[in-house]
Amino acid sequence: MKSNCKPVEKEHILRQKQDRMRSLRVVKYLEYPFILPDSPIDMEEGYIVSDRDTYDIFASFIFKNITDRQLKKLDVRINCYLNQNIPYAHIDFEYSHDLLTFGIIGKDDVDLKFKDSNKKQYIDKCETFGACVYIPLPETYFTKIELVLLSVEYANGEVVDINTVVAGDSRKYKDLDNITKMVYSRVNIYRSAEEKFPTKVVPQFGNTSWLCCCGNKNPNAAEVCEKCAREKEWQKNVIVSEKLEETKTRMVNDPREVTLHDKSKFKQNRYLETKEETQKKIEQYEKAMKNIALEEKYNESRKLLLIPKILLIVGFIYLLIFGIKLFIELGPLSNASSGGGGGGEQEAVETANIERDSYYLL
């Protein structure tokens, strides 16, 4: 059994390393400013990216678990369209720890390192996942892709079918008319939060999650936004589309609001997300992916240099042992040769003395 699992695991490790070393550029930024009303998974953002070296095209999505349960697996499908209502290609993909496709896991705008993300077997509540995971797209030309959430598997093994197409509508604050903006400014009790967490969308509420006006998606059980701390009930009762329209009608019909149109300008307009800010987000994503690729290439180069270093150390130790052994073996021979030379000289002296004594006796 183990012999069957190891090659598969090694294959996923090599694929992940290859993806992390890619030099990518963003072709298209995918925005999801809406909630999926009955889904345990919500979308944060997505990217269509291209490999600068191979020109391969990939899709990358970032998801968020908005349930209280630990997520073990998410199955998705990408439908590719070409000027028709029927997709010409289907791509199924699995996000799981077993396949090392959870990517970078994060929470509260703080991302874990790859090695720490790879250790996590489950996605906890309000954690994001999917960053730096690239789904290969067909080489043939396509005009549109559609993402479908098929099913989720929880930590206890329970599988729940979702079958939800990722699509929806939202009212962005920048697209509201001046009167509606003025209405919002009058009822807004969180003006101090606007500079750091500006209003971006009209809030939405579903069965599993709700969308805060700051753009953050929260689990349905959260009473305040986990990002900006605006209250859920206040948004639901005051600034949803229906309530804004009611307040707008009442204020317009009130004759005291004669200067209504002159009061439509206020400070939070300059904090709204613009095309420049979207481009900045894309550049930050590309920079982050570039840093990951450089780090992975550096780690690989260090591994390649490690083998020559080990061989050099082993060779040095071998030469050191050989030298010590040679010194030990040659030591007794040198002592013996030096001892034998001294004895010969002593015999020569004794012979000369005997000859000299014999000469004097004669």
Q: Say yes or no: 136 and 58 in one domain.
A: yes
Q: Which residues pair with 105 in a beta bridge?
A: none
CA torsion, ordered 183, 186, 187, 192, to nearest 10 deg: 130
Identify the helix (H) or strand (E) that includes residue 8.
helix 2-20
Q: Say yes or no: 9 and 142 in one domain.
A: yes
The Cα–Cα gap between 125 and 94 comes to 19
- Decide if 346 is inside a domain: no
The Cα–Cα gap between 102 and 207 comes to 25
Q: Say yes or no: 157 and 79 in one domain.
A: yes
**Confidence (pLDDT) at 261:** 37
Number of domains present in the structure of the chain: 2
- Decide if 361 is inside a domain: no
- Decide if 336 is inside a domain: no
pTM above 0.75, yes or no: no
| Structural domain that includes position 254 | 173-271
- Decide if 179 is inside a domain: yes
Measure CA 361 to chain center: 110
The Cα–Cα gap between 7 and 2 comes to 9
Q: Say yes or no: 18 and 158 in one domain.
A: yes
**Confidence (pLDDT) at 29:** 93
Q: Say yes or no: 48 and 84 in one domain.
A: yes
Distances (CA, A) of 40 to 32, 218, 249: 15, 11, 36
- Decide if 320 is inside a domain: no
**Confidence (pLDDT) at 262:** 37
**Helix 241-253 vs helix 178-187: angle between axes, to the nearest 10 degrees?**
100
Q: Say yes or no: 249 and 281 in one domain.
A: no
**Confidence (pLDDT) at 254:** 72
Q: Say yes or no: 20 and 165 in one domain.
A: yes
**Confidence (pLDDT) at 336:** 53
- Decide if 349 is inside a domain: no
Q: Say yes or no: 279 and 267 in one domain.
A: no
Q: Say yes or no: 82 and 195 in one domain.
A: no
> CB-based contacts of 111: which residues, under 8 Å, 6+ apart?
104, 105, 131
Q: Say yes or no: 235 and 140 in one domain.
A: no
The Cα–Cα gap between 319 and 131 comes to 50
325 near 317, Cβ under 8 Å? no
Q: Say yes or no: 205 and 224 in one domain.
A: yes
Tell me the per-residue pLDDT of 168-207, one tens digit each, with 9 for 90 and over: 888 899 899 988 998 898 889 998 889 899 999 999 999 9
Tell me the per-residue pLDDT of 32-45, one tens digit each, with 9 for 90 and over: 999 998 899 999 99
| Sites in the chain below the pLDDT cut of 50 | 1-7, 258-273, 341, 359-362
**Confidence (pLDDT) at 362:** 45
- Decide if 11 is inside a domain: yes
Q: Say yes or no: 232 and 263 in one domain.
A: yes
- Decide if 354 is inside a domain: no
